[in-house]
Amino acid sequence: MDIVEAQPLWQPDPGWLNTASYGLPPRPGWEAVQAALVGWRAGRTPWEVWDLETQRARESFARLVGVDAADVAVGAQVSQLLAPVAAAIPDGASVIVPEEEFASNLFPWLVHADRGVRVSTVPASEVADAVKPGTDVVAFSLVQSATGEVAAYSDIVTAARNVGALVVVDATQACGWLPFDAALADVVAVVAYKWLMSPRGTGFAYLGPEVRERIRPIAAGWYAGEDVHTSYYGPPLRLARSARRFDISPAWLSWVGTAPALELVEDIGVDAIGAHNVALANRFLAGLGQPSRDSAIVTVDVPGAEERLAAAGVRAAVRAGRVRASFHVYTSDRDVDLALDALVG
């Protein structure tokens, strides 16, 4: 399906430039959730039916980022998905994180300060250079949520491999518009409510087979069992051999809205979505007299932006006077023009 064919599947009010905060559901995801709500209210649907959607979403995510579904765990949010990884690094480990990093890939490391884990922050553009012998972990977002800066993924991976450091990526602001190979990293966490246009409460972690050997599944419950349905009660511990041992039990209704959204992203194609998004972002920048940046998220300084955008009904994030605008598959030239008229006119 191409973008023009797909766009009627969304119904945004004009001026939604804030997918970096949350994405809007496509019709198949929206309708699936509505049907699930009806079944829930009447007690008509066995939970096992909703649960099938979790596996369906896991498989779609694995295809989107080029890994085996057996290497993907499901969870609810980024810091939860990364917490077992951080808990597994040795006492006194040295971790590098960009100084702009969103807290969900920073706090999980900082909470280990009492056992000597040291976190150094450097500008996002300097992460690869900061990796030195003695670095144990390099943790960063593929696309920074505050600025839209795209990380030098392969340079960082090369630097990390040279010193044997673990590579931990938060691809939440990338997955769905920026093609990338998750298997280059050791760990990649993604929550689906932004660029994967799903309800809040669903996320994935690629956990490579080698790294899994080093991580204790500290949140394991029945859903992490090898056979989920015979894992409800009693010992022994019988965890899944695959990355499912890191699963937490799923927020059913959210997963119902996640699987169709991911499959639609696959159907349209991440390359096509990325090209569309970046073209709109660059058009927005050009309208403000600024050069292209080739990211779906851009930030600009415009005096009085908050009031001007609000008056025009444009919803973008404004923080400390900076406008963060983000552009996705359902964004159109009209949305960009609305914002430019408000900011430049």
Ligand X SMILES: Cc1ncc(COP(=O)(O)O)c(C=O)c1O
The correct pick among 7, 77, 249, 332 for binding ligand X (CB under 6 A) is 77
Regarding 173 and contact with ligand X (CB under 6 A), the answer is yes
Nearest distance from C-beta of residue 23 to ligand X, angstroms: 11
Regarding 170 and contact with ligand X (CB under 6 A), the answer is yes
Q: Which residue has the tokens 């690094």?
A: 89
Close Cβ partners of 222 (under 8 Å, ≥ 6 residues apart): 228, 231, 232, 249
Regarding 102 and contact with ligand X (CB under 6 A), the answer is yes
Regarding 79 and contact with ligand X (CB under 6 A), the answer is yes
Q: Indicate if the alpha-carbon torsion angle 126, 132, 135, 138 is positive or negative.
A: positive
Helix (H, G, I), strand (E, B) or coil at 338: helix
The correct pick among 141, 277, 326, 331 for binding ligand X (CB under 6 A) is 141
Toward ligand X, which CB reaches closer, 145 or 295? 145
* Options 71-79, 131-139, 149-157, 251-259: segment touching ligand X (CB under 6 A): 71-79
Regarding 263 and contact with ligand X (CB under 6 A), the answer is no
Number of residues that bind ligand X (CB under 6 A): 11
CA nearest 204: which of 163, 237, 164, 176? 176
Regarding 205 and contact with ligand X (CB under 6 A), the answer is no
* Options 57-65, 75-83, 122-130, 314-322: segment touching ligand X (CB under 6 A): 75-83
Nearest distance from C-beta of residue 320 to ligand X, angstroms: 16
Toward ligand X, which CB reaches closer, 58 or 308? 58
H helical segments located in 231-304: 252-268, 270-287
User: And the tokens for 95?
Assistant: 């971790």
Strands 118-122 and 137-141: unpaired
CA nearest 138: which of 109, 110, 97, 179? 97
Regarding 240 and contact with ligand X (CB under 6 A), the answer is no
Toward ligand X, which CB reaches closer, 174 or 285? 174
Nearest distance from C-beta of residue 79 to ligand X, angstroms: 4
Q: How far apart are CA 198 and CA 203, in angstroms?
A: 10
CA nearest 162: which of 132, 127, 120, 142? 132
* Options 48-56, 167-175, 211-219, 276-284: segment touching ligand X (CB under 6 A): 167-175
The correct pick among 19, 54, 172, 282 for binding ligand X (CB under 6 A) is 172
Q: How far apart are CA 342 and CA 345, in angstroms?
A: 6
Close Cβ partners of 307 (under 8 Å, ≥ 6 residues apart): none
Cβ atoms of 217 and 12 within 8 Å: the answer is: no
Regarding 295 and contact with ligand X (CB under 6 A), the answer is no
Nearest distance from C-beta of residue 104 to ligand X, angstroms: 3
Radius of gyration over alpha carbons of the chain, in Å? 21
Given the rule CB under 6 A, which residues bind ligand X? 77-79, 102, 104, 141, 145, 170, 172-173, 191
